Amino acid sequence: MRKLVLSLAVFASALTFAQHNQQNWCGFDQHNARLLEQYPGADQVIHETIMRSKEMGATSTGDRAVIGTVPVVVHVIHDGGSSNISYDQIVSAVDQLNEDYQRLNSDTVNTRNTAEAPFEPLASDMQLEFKLAKIDPNGNCTNGVQRRYSPNSTVNAGEDVKFYNSGGLDAWPRDSYLNIWVVESIETSGGGITLGYAQFPYFGQASTYGIVIRNDAFGTMGTAMSGDRTFTHEVGHCLGLFHTFQGGCSMSDCSSDGDYCCDTPPVLEAQWSCGTSQNTCTGIPTNDPYGFDAYDQFENYMSYSPCQNMFSEDQKTVVLGNFSGISWMADLISPANAIATGVNQADQLCKAEFSSTNTLICAGSTVDFTDESYFGITGYTWTFDGGTPATSTAPNPVVTYNTPGTYDVTLEVTDGVSNVITSKTAYVTVLDNPGVSLPYTENFEALTAIPDNQTWMVEDEDGLEPWALNIEFGSSGNQSAWLDNFAKTNGSKDHLMSGPIDLSVVDPSDNVVFTFKYAYNKRSASNDEWLQFYISNDCGESWVLRKNLHGNDLSTQTSIGPYDPAPEDWVEVEVTNINSTYYTSNFRYKFVFENDNGNNIYIDDINIYAGAMTDVDENIADNLSVYPNPVTNQMQISLDVYDTAIYTITLSNVLGQQVALVYQGEILAGQGQVSYDMSALPKGVYFLNIESNGVVKTTKVIKQ
């Protein structure tokens, strides 16, 4: 497996490749080294397979314009925004691939044919065709595109993107489809930007064979306006080609060393220039077809040059030999597979399908719908339960939802002869706006399930156990939110997301305090699992990290078996960095847990309140103290009273509801003392309210 790594400048134009510092931006060596460790002896397998393939490829070209069609499936992993690239952009990528592999590209005129660089006569039509599949592995119709909304997986993507259980999409069988995973960005090491990487056909898992590529390096439109040849380059690796600079300036037998292609002169290292007299290696390799020290072939698609426009005849021999000599590759381009994948079928109305910018919004917001039906659509009939408009005939309507609830969406399409319909039940969830008022508390005691799609929502990357309601263990009662995380090892993230809370009434000069409790033990001391806390001021369209707990900060305790918390295990966390830009009517928060072969985690007793709720009015009393605080049973209240007066002291919960009358009567001037037994009250946060002559003083009390 290899990676093409380029600097940030790639976004402006393909020509910006030439502006990079000349250093090793390719991650192939590191990635290939890891694979060679995983598959001992694979380097010898590569050598022997290429040598056999060259023998078979030399006699397999024939006279046909196209010797085989490669069915393609594109898995789009996106965040709901521009990374969810259009079908037209995907088609443009396949069109560009066909132009380059059949030498129909418009820049063939730039292939040099000079005395020192006689490359144009050796530029090759690979005789390969690529088409999006029209039948999926289950025999159902498809347009060759799968999509998955997975915001965390599309960023810094790696091999996990190739598996549904880790937030991606599973590969379709490699002997029937060429798998492409399109993402927002790709993980890299050592700086730079990874545009794409591919796995060789010679060794490795069948489930990971294919290409991972950034959406801005895929196609010639949409997010990929530069039209660079990253996709062409990566497909070359996928079909068995090395870089032209493989092996550097080796002067040994070019037919069995370097990139195994004698008509691509040796190159010292990766180059990003197009100097017509560039020659980084001196000498003539054994079996060199030129008979002299030829210039570097920067035109080659397997170089890093911005002037790529050709494959060579020897590269064609390797690729076609692989399609002849590797059995599953032969199956891939067989006539039987063309029928099974439907690549040569005429377009016909097949399926009604759509996507949207989001499916979870606050009341008053809009949803942008995009038609993804295929093929030959001439008319649309949309029905939006609860939306405005309620119906539409536009291909991509924008709909407003004003009333909280969960709503169905239906799309019927026609090609003028027949109709196809699809309905998605409970597709759009609309939350309250404004949300729940302060003070806010959640002890999970009143809930019957998580998620309920109003108070709590979940995202489950791996499709296994999501956050759920636990009815056995709680901090202040018998219930909590929990994640069954025992021995989960795939590094996926699970999200527990709140409904909206109305913070718009908080004075911008005031502070908001957020507290919660959690209980967690590791499974082993080496576990490094993460609990993260995020907030949003736009109903969850964007999130900002506000708290990180992981490793020993999360817990130093271990439990060999599945962890169930004891009463003393609960840890309270206070978040104080929620600034006034988040004082909106649709504030939301979420907890995100990332697993690492660890153990279960529980969350309970969530409270949000404004700092003003604990302000002291100096006109009533001074030196107010409550102790112990937190209190277990008996609470002692001490205060200095200015004037003898009638006082009413009460306890209220975070919803503002009075839960106890602590004292009512006269308190003499001087230092007053009041005791109260809180043992009958459940654990949680309370507010002690001292009122006299219409003035109230409040302070926070925690019952544990």
No. of helices (H) and no. of strands (E), the chain: 7, 34
42-57 helix and 313-325 helix, angle to the nearest 10 degrees: 100
Instruction: Beginning with the edge strand found earlier in the chain, give each strand of the sheet holding 645-653 in spatial order.
Output: 658-667, 645-653, 684-692, 695-703
Q: How far apart are the first and last CA of the chain?
A: 55
Q: Copy the structure tokens of residue 133.
A: 């599949």
Q: Answer yes or no: 445 catalytic.
A: no
Q: Tokens representing 11?
A: 């976004």
Which candidate in 234, 299, 459, 594 is catalytic? 234
φ/ψ (deg, to 5) at 215: -65, -25
Closest CA to 575 of 532, 617, 616, 523: 532
Rounded Cα distance between 44 and 50, Å, is 10
Pick the closest to residue 262 from 122, 77, 98, 366 (CA basis).
Answer: 122
Here the tokens at position 70 are: 């490669």
CA 676 to chain centre: 52
230-238 and 87-101 helices, crossing angle to 10°: 70
Residue 435's Cβ-side half-sphere holds a number of Cα atoms within 13 Å equal to 30
Residues facing residue 387 across a β-bridge: 401
Exposure b/e, 56-85, CB count within 10 A at least 16 = b: bbeebbeeeeebbbbbbbbbbbbbbeebbb
Rounded Cα distance between 540 and 587, Å, is 8
Give Cα 686 distance to the centre of its chain.
Answer: 40
Within 172-252, residue ranges assigned H as helices are 230-238
Half-sphere exposure of 510 (CA within 13 A, CB side): 15
- Which DSSP state fits 516? E
Question: CA–CA separation, 368 vs 348, rounded Å?
Answer: 26
Residue 497 has a CB neighbour count (10 Å cut-off) of: 20
Residue 173 preceded by cis peptide, ω within 30? no
- Residues forming beta bridges with residue 399, ordered by sequence position: 367
The secondary structure of 253-290 as a DSSP string is BTTSSTTS-TTS---SS------TT-----S--BT-SS
What are the beta bridge partners of residue 211?
180, 198
Query: Annotated active-site positions, please?
Result: 234
